[in-house]
Amino acid sequence: MIELIIIVVSAVLLFAITLWKRRSPTTLREIPALTRLLHTLGLSIEDGTRLHISLGSGSLLDARGGSAFAGLAMLRHIAERTSVSDEPSVASAGDPALGLLTQDTLQAGYKAAGVNELYVPTTGRVTGLSPFGYAAGAMYISKNENVSANIMIGHFGPEAALLTEASDRENVVSIGASDELSGQAVLFANTNDALVGEELFATGAYLGAGPSHTASLTVQDIMRWLVISALLGGAAAKFFGVI
């Protein structure tokens, strides 16, 4: 029942804060990786290079789907901004269902920019069906397709090192975030800038995806303080013999 209460409280907070954020603009703290992401986004359009958005091999049918949806939200806005570029962004996924949504999301970005006719279905790809197969296929994109930045947001394990290594060899900027601890450690060591923990879910808010994304960050902060209070309260109660 506690889980249901957490979900309901989060949902109510998200709804109320989204309405509130529509009226008042939000100031977000600076996250170096996301500042670099915005910088690379503008630069890629100017110098006629591609962005490669890697969404990892997370399945939508399990708990790893959250990071995949966060990656898709980011992809939607990147696609909209880079749709008129000479070299449109390429997105890769390691899960077939995620691959389908990748294509749909890319097309939605083009449609929002009013250039639906420029959309090329092969810019959204499934490069492999296992984590290593996916990494091997995605390495190929960084190497051969005039890519200037490799943005990895999603579920990545240690295989992320293969992708960052391939990017490094071609002087491609790497920005990464994973919902898995081993993937995060690898990305921290291998990328120019890594997003740690819940920063993965902040990309949409920083790209201007709308009030629901900034409201999500506020809800996460509130819930985090509640968890911290519960942990400290529980420890204190145990210490004093209350529980």
Site for another protein in 159-198 (CB under 8 A): 159, 161-162, 164-165, 179, 181, 184, 186, 188-190, 192-193, 196-198
Instruction: Check residue 16 for interaction with another protein (CB under 8 A).
Output: no
Residue 86 Cβ vs another protein, minimum distance, rounded to whole Å:
16
Instruction: Check residue 63 for interaction with another protein (CB under 8 A).
Output: yes
Class of residue 7 by CB neighbours under 10 A (exposed 0-12, middle 13-18, buried 19+): exposed
Q: Which residues pair with 93 in a beta bridge?
A: 126
Torsion angle defined by CA atoms of residues 150, 152, 158 and 161, in that order, rounded to the nearest 10 degrees: 10
Class of residue 185 by CB neighbours under 10 A (exposed 0-12, middle 13-18, buried 19+): middle
How many residues form the binding site for another protein (CB under 8 A)?
A: 79
Residue 189 Cβ vs another protein, minimum distance, rounded to whole Å:
5
Instruction: Check residue 148 for interaction with another protein (CB under 8 A).
Output: no
Instruction: Check residue 130 for interaction with another protein (CB under 8 A).
Output: yes
Instruction: Check residue 126 for interaction with another protein (CB under 8 A).
Output: yes
Residue 77 Cβ vs another protein, minimum distance, rounded to whole Å:
11
| Helix axes of 96-112 and 65-82: crossing angle, nearest 10 degrees | 30
Residue 153 is inside which H or E element, if any? strand 147-155
Please tell me the distance from the alpha carbon of residue 61 to that of residue 59, in angstroms, as a whole number: 5
- Tell me which residues in 213-242 interact with another protein (CB under 8 A): 213, 216, 219-220, 223-224, 227
Residue 69 is inside which H or E element, if any? helix 65-82
**Whose Cβ is closer to another protein: residue 9's or residue 43's?**
9
81 is written with which tokens? Answer: 């901004």
Instruction: Check residue 80 for interaction with another protein (CB under 8 A).
Output: no
Q: Which of 31, 43, 115, 132 binds another protein (CB under 8 A)?
A: 132
Please tell me the distance from the alpha carbon of residue 29 to that of residue 173, in angstroms, as a whole number: 22
Instruction: Check residue 49 for interaction with another protein (CB under 8 A).
Output: no
Q: Which of 24, 30, 46, 61 binds another protein (CB under 8 A)?
A: 61
Largest CA distance in the chain: 68
Instruction: Check residue 6 for interaction with another protein (CB under 8 A).
Output: yes
Task: Kindly indicate which of the ranges 39-47, 77-85, 134-142, 235-243 contains the residues binding another protein, using the contact rule CB under 8 A.
Answer: 134-142
